[in-house]
Structure 1
């Protein structure tokens, strides 16, 4: 019996034409195991709608072909649905795919689908929005917003924006309630980590795991220009915990109280949300097709 499979393709992820992607996928996909259908998104929110339709039509696998934003839309509808999420990463950061060890090489990613090794990962929910990789506020939310509207993609554009936005950024004081314990912190950034990295192998929380039943709240104290450069280097070499102004606290439920409403990011997508944020963890709530042998 073949697995009824829907490939949801974001045609603008990564900036390259996706017109011939279905044929390229079929060239490698094991069609003796999978019965594939292909659909392209045409607007924000469309991937979520297509996933809801796939659930109604009894699909057995939904594959996101795109970046972290596309995957967030799809995965948010698959939480507790007992339908696995497959990933062919074509975004600019691909944080979730990298943490799951899904190859960045297109053909190898399809071969991971063929192996169909399913595992369960934790899911986080910020107010009413699910996320799977990383959320944050402060400096990284500002950069996420700027990156979304930049004409260029990739690591070097992200680095350029980090440099440009640093001069005028003003840190904020946050009140954090971590499993009932109150902490007040003036911070350059606050990240809520389900996985270890933002994307592009930039590790803000190197020891975080998608499978351990807890999240990490990362705070970085206000810093100067030289310290920002050092932090960037340490994130790139997966030694972020060596930075003196970096702190991680593990928790299962978190409330964050900000002075005002403001920007945040969820899986790299910039949003504006209320000053009070409530983050919950749902253990092993999403099935995924992993990239490594398990």
Structure 2
């Protein structure tokens, strides 16, 4: 498998990547792999191996996948995934599992499909990005040892103290949606991760992003919101609004964002733009 390269995030899977690497070296003789500790290192490795590699495998969570995908957008190169994150939303949505034999079979098949990605200002996103409550949650979550239980703890603690954000849209078509919200999410796929479906109707092949506007709701509604989200039944009501758009601009009075689960500071105004069929992904 000389045309395949593996990019491993050593901080994923509770920093326990060695079992994967040991198994990989048993399955493939002299595999081409890189232990990445920075975005710059990942970009350099891809550039150095670009001419001799057809498939780049991201080993990590959604942030790792996004960092690899950034260098593969609008090229002939194919992205593959071995999920090793805390949420694994994008790998869940694109049918990658923690089964190396299954992955290697896919690699031998060398089949792909083209999916959409999008940008938040000049930064790439492949899964779900957002601001407001969940941007703040990710900021605090990154201070913990991660894991689903810690995410829930941080979410509950943040909810009680969080003040709504103010969103103002640039287009007259969306001015009626100006207002205060608990959070605003931009979804290319259906879920954050851990099977939390924030946009059950989202598609990676329709050329559209789902803008999910969620107003701050009373505590009693929280159980309803969670039940609907984890059962793929979240829908529009007095607290939730969906806008399906190829492109949109707005301002928001916070810099706290998460891009595919990774915390980022982003200044307004915000420009969301879908890049249709911009990424080849292994099937």
TM-score by length of 1: 0.89
Q: 1:280 to 1:40 in 2, by over 3 A?
A: same
Question: Conserved in 1, the CA contact under 8 Å of 2:60 and 2:84?
Answer: yes
Match of 1:188 in 2: 182
Give the deviation of 1:185 after TM superposition. 2.6
* Match for residue 265 of structure 1 among 258, 264, 269: 258
Q: Any unmatched runs of 5+ in structure 2?
A: none
* Larger relative strand fraction: 1
Partners of 1:25 and 1:110 within 8 A in 2: no
2:166 maps to 173
In the TM superposition, residue 92 of structure 1 has moved relative to its aligned partner by 0.6
CA distance in 2 between partners of 1:256 and 1:28 (Å): 49
1:136 maps to what in 2? Answer: 130
In the alignment, structure 1 segments of 5+ residues that lack a partner are: none
Give 2:120's aligned residue. Answer: 126
Measure, in 2, the Cα distance between the counterparts of 1:112 and 1:40: 22
Shift of residue 21, structure 1, vs aligned partner: 2.5
2:153 aligned with 1:160 = yes
Among 190, 197, 205, the alignment partner of 2:191 is 197
Shift of 1:223: 0.9
Cα RMSD, aligned residues only = 2.1
The TM-score, its normalising length taken from structure 2, stands at: 0.92
Confirm whether residue 246 of structure 1 aligns to residue 245 of structure 2. no
- Alignment counterpart, residue 47 of structure 2, candidates 48, 52, 67: 52
Once residues 142 and 192 of structure 1 are traced to their aligned partners in structure 2, the CA distance between those partners, rounded to angstroms, is: 16
Matched pairs, number = 282
Contact 1:28–1:111 (CA<8 Å) still a contact in 2? no
State how far apart, in whole Å, the 1-side matches of 2:226 and 2:48 are.
42
Q: Are residues 1:75 and 2:74 paired?
A: no
**CA–CA distance in 1 between the matches of 2:105 and 2:87?**
21
Q: Secondary structure at the match of 2:281?
A: strand
User: Does the 8 Å CA contact 1:3/1:60 hold for their aligned counterparts?
Assistant: no
CA distance change for structure 1 residues 157 and 243 in 2, over 3 Å: closer, same or farther? farther
Q: Quote the Cα distance in structure 2 between the aligned partners of 1:222 and 1:101.
A: 33
